[in-house]
A and B are shown apart, each in its own frame.
Chain A
Amino acid sequence: MIVNAELFVKDLPGQLVGSIEPISLVDGNIMGVMHDRERIVNHRICVNITFEVEEQRQLEELMRIWKSKDIIISKIGSVYQTYTMDYLLIGDIDAPYIEGLINKASSIAKLDAVDVRYSSKGKSSRRTGMISVKTRSEEDLDRLDEFLDAECRKSDITYVRGV
C-alpha cells in the first residue's frame, strides 16, 4: 500500500533523518519527502512523506516507532492498497512496441507505476521484455492480463505472467 503521512518533528538537527529512517527499518520504500520549513507549530516543523509498505502490520510498527521518537503524526492519508504484477513478453518485440502496448493498456486499466526491462540480445531474434506494473485494484490486473494475453496471441509473442 502507498501511504502519505504528515509528521511534525522537533526543529533540531537530525530530526528529519530520524523520521525517515524508521520506514527502512520496517522494510518500507520511501517514494517522496517534502520538508516544509514554513509550517512550524510549537517549535516543530512539518515533514510530508510518501512511502510504500506491503502490509498493515508494517505500517502499525512504523507508527509505533514514530511515536516512541516523539514524532507527531498529524495526518495519515491517501492510503491505498497497490497490487504488483510482472509480465514477460518473449518474441519479436522492441521498445516502441512495448511502449505502444503500455499506452493502450493505460486506457483499459489504471496503472500506478510501470517499469520495463529488456534482455540483452541473445542468440535468437527473439527478445524478452519484462513489464512490472502496480495497480490499485485486482480488477485492473485482471483487465491488464486479459489485454496483454490477447495482444500477445495476435502477435505470436509468448506471454508469461506472474503467479
Chain B
Amino acid sequence: MRVFICGFGTVGQGFAEVLARRMDFLEERYGCPILVTGAMDSKTYVLDRNGLDPLDLVATKQRTGRVGEDEYSDSTKVLDQAAYDILVEVSPTDIKTGGAGLRNITHALENRKDVITVNKGPLALKFNELITLARRNKCKFRFEGSVGGAMPIINLCRENLRGEKIESIRGIFNGTCNFILSKMDKGQPFDQVLKEAQQMGYAETDPTNDIEGYDSACKVAILANSVFGRNVTFDDVKITGITGITEEAIALAASRNMVIRLIGEVSETKLEVGPRLVPRGHPLSISGTLNTAQIISDLAGPITVSGRGAGRTETASAILSDLISIMDERTE
C-alpha cells in the first residue's frame, strides 16, 4: 500500500512518526508494508516509488525547513508524477476557498485514489461534491480527524452507532475557546487569557478563526453533512463567537452555578455555533483544551465522548484509524 503525505507541517510530521511507530503492526496485520512514496510541503516535494523512511522525512523537514529538494508550483502535477494508492491530505486549511487542499483531494478522487484528510476547509465548503465524486469513482474517503482531533465522533456516529437515529450532537469543538472561557471562569479578562493562549501555542497569532467561532462552524457543517446527511456548507451555520463575553457575564453565570462555553449544535433542523450557559457538572461544562461532544440517539440515549481536539500525535491517531479502516475494507 502506497501513501502520499500532502502537507508536512505539524500534523503531517506527526502522521509520519505514528506510521513509523505502527509500521510493524500494520505489516503484520496486512502482510505487506505501508510505503510512503511521496511527501509534499507548501513549497517542496520528494518522491520515491520504493518508499521513503518516514522518520528521515521528519528529520529533513526539521533540519532544513523543507521536506524535499524539488520545488513545485502546481501540487496536482506532483500528484500526477507520484505512485500512490492513498492520499493523506493534511495541508493548512483554507475556510474561504478550500485552497490547495480542495484541489488536491479533488484531483486524487478524480484519479480514483482513496483519500484521508483532516483538512476542514474543503469538507466544510464542498462536502457533498467530494462525497459524490468519491462514490462515483468508488474511492474511499475518510476524515475522522477533521472534527475533534483524537476524539472519535464521525466514525463513532456512522459506524458504531449504525442503526441508531441520531437526534442531535452538541459539543465543544474548539480547544482554544474552551481554554479562554475556562480561564475566564477564574476571573481573568478575555484579552489577557487570549495572550496567554497565544504564548502557550493554543491560539494562532491571528486567532479570528477560533474566537469568532469559524473553526467550530466548519466542524458543525462537517457533522451535519456526514452524520445527518444534510447538504450544508460553512455559510449556512449561524455563528456567534466569544469576543462579546465579558467578565461580568461570566460572574453572573457563576452566580447561578453555570459556566459559559462555545457550543456547536447540529440536528436535522439546527446548525449553530454560539456561547451557551452550561450548568456546572454538565458534560459540556468541561474546562481546558479538551473537546467534547454529546450525541443524543433514539435507542442508546445520550452518549458523551471527549478527547484532545488537536495536537501532532493526537490528530495523527485519527488518520491512522482511517488508514486502518481503508486497509480493512480493501482486504475484505
Instruction: List 25 A-B residue pairs with CB atoms under 8 Å apart, sorted by A's residue number.
Output: A86-B256, A86-B277, A88-B249, A88-B253, A90-B246, A91-B244, A117-B255, A119-B251, A120-B248, A122-B246, A123-B247, A124-B246, A126-B248, A128-B246, A128-B249, A132-B256, A158-B240, A158-B244, A158-B249, A160-B253, A160-B276, A161-B274, A162-B258, A162-B277, A163-B263
- Chain A residue at minimum C-beta to C-beta distance from B294: A163
- Chain B residue at minimum C-beta to C-beta distance from A122: B248
- Total chain B interface residues with beta-carbon distance under 8 A: 24
The answer to whether A163 and B248 have CB atoms under 8 Å apart is no
| Measured CA separation A86–B254 after assembly (Å) | 13
The answer to whether B249 and A159 have CB atoms under 8 Å apart is no
State the majority secondary structure of interface residues on B.
mixed
Question: Which chain A residues lie closer than 8 Å to B282 at the CB level?
Answer: 163
Whether B161 is near chain A, meaning CB under 8 Å from some CB there, is no
Q: A122-B246, A158-B245, A160-B277 are in contact. Are A128 and B170 (CB under 8 A)?
A: no
Query: Shortest Cβ distance from B193 into chain A, in angstroms?
Result: 15
Q: Quick one: which of A106-149 are within 8 Å of B by CB?
A: 117-120, 122-124, 126-128, 130, 132
- Chain B residue at minimum C-beta to C-beta distance from A121: B248
The answer to whether A128 and B277 have CB atoms under 8 Å apart is no
**B248, B255, B274, B284: which contacts A160 (Cβ < 8 A)?**
B274
10 closest Cβ contacts across the A-B interface? A158-B244, A119-B248, A122-B248, A128-B249, A162-B277, A160-B275, A128-B248, A119-B252, A90-B249, A163-B276
Question: Which chain B residues lie closer than 8 Å to A128 at the CB level?
Answer: 246, 248-249, 252
- Scoring B residues 97 to 125 as 1 if CB is less than 8 Å from chain A, else 0, what string do you get? 00000000000000000000000000000
- Total chain A interface residues with beta-carbon distance under 8 A: 23
Query: Shortest Cβ distance from B139 into chain A, in angstroms?
Result: 38
| Measured CA separation A126–B260 after assembly (Å) | 17
Query: Shortest Cβ distance from B228 into chain A, in angstroms?
Result: 19
| Measured CA separation A158–B263 after assembly (Å) | 15
Q: Which interface residue of B170, B247, B249, B277 has the most chain A CB atoms within 10 A? A: B249
- Chain A residue at minimum C-beta to C-beta distance from B263: A163
Question: Which chain B residues lie closer than 8 Å to A158 at the CB level?
Answer: 240, 244-245, 249, 275
Whether B278 is near chain A, meaning CB under 8 Å from some CB there, is yes
Query: Shortest Cβ distance from B192 into chain A, in angstroms?
Result: 12
- Chain B residue at minimum C-beta to C-beta distance from A123: B247
**A126, A130, A163: which contacts B246 (Cβ < 8 A)?**
A126
Question: Which chain A residues lie closer than 8 Å to B170 at the CB level?
Answer: 163
State the majority secondary structure of interface residues on A.
strand
- Scoring B residues 33 to 70 as 1 if CB is less than 8 Å from chain A, else 0, what string do you get? 00000000000000000000000000000000000000
Other A-B pairs beyond A132-B256, A162-B276, A163-B278, 8, CB < 8 Å: A90-B244, A117-B252, A126-B248, A158-B245, A158-B275, A160-B253, A163-B277, A163-B284
Query: Shortest Cβ distance from A113 into chain B, in angstroms?
Result: 15
**A88, A123, A124: which contacts B252 (Cβ < 8 A)?**
A88
- Scoring B residues 254 to 279 as 1 if CB is less than 8 Å from chain A, else 0, what string do you get? 01101010010000000000111111
| Measured CA separation A28–B271 after assembly (Å) | 36
Q: Quick one: which of A68-112 are within 8 Å of B by CB?
A: 86-88, 90-91
Q: Which interface residue of B170, B247, B278 has the most chain A CB atoms within 10 A? A: B247
**A91, A122, A123, A160: which contacts B260 (Cβ < 8 A)?**
A160
| Measured CA separation A124–B253 after assembly (Å) | 18
| Measured CA separation A117–B282 after assembly (Å) | 23
The answer to whether B248 and A159 have CB atoms under 8 Å apart is no
The answer to whether B256 and A130 have CB atoms under 8 Å apart is yes
| Measured CA separation A97–B124 after assembly (Å) | 38
- Chain B residue at minimum C-beta to C-beta distance from A118: B252
Question: Which chain B residues lie closer than 8 Å to A86 at the CB level?
Answer: 256, 258, 277
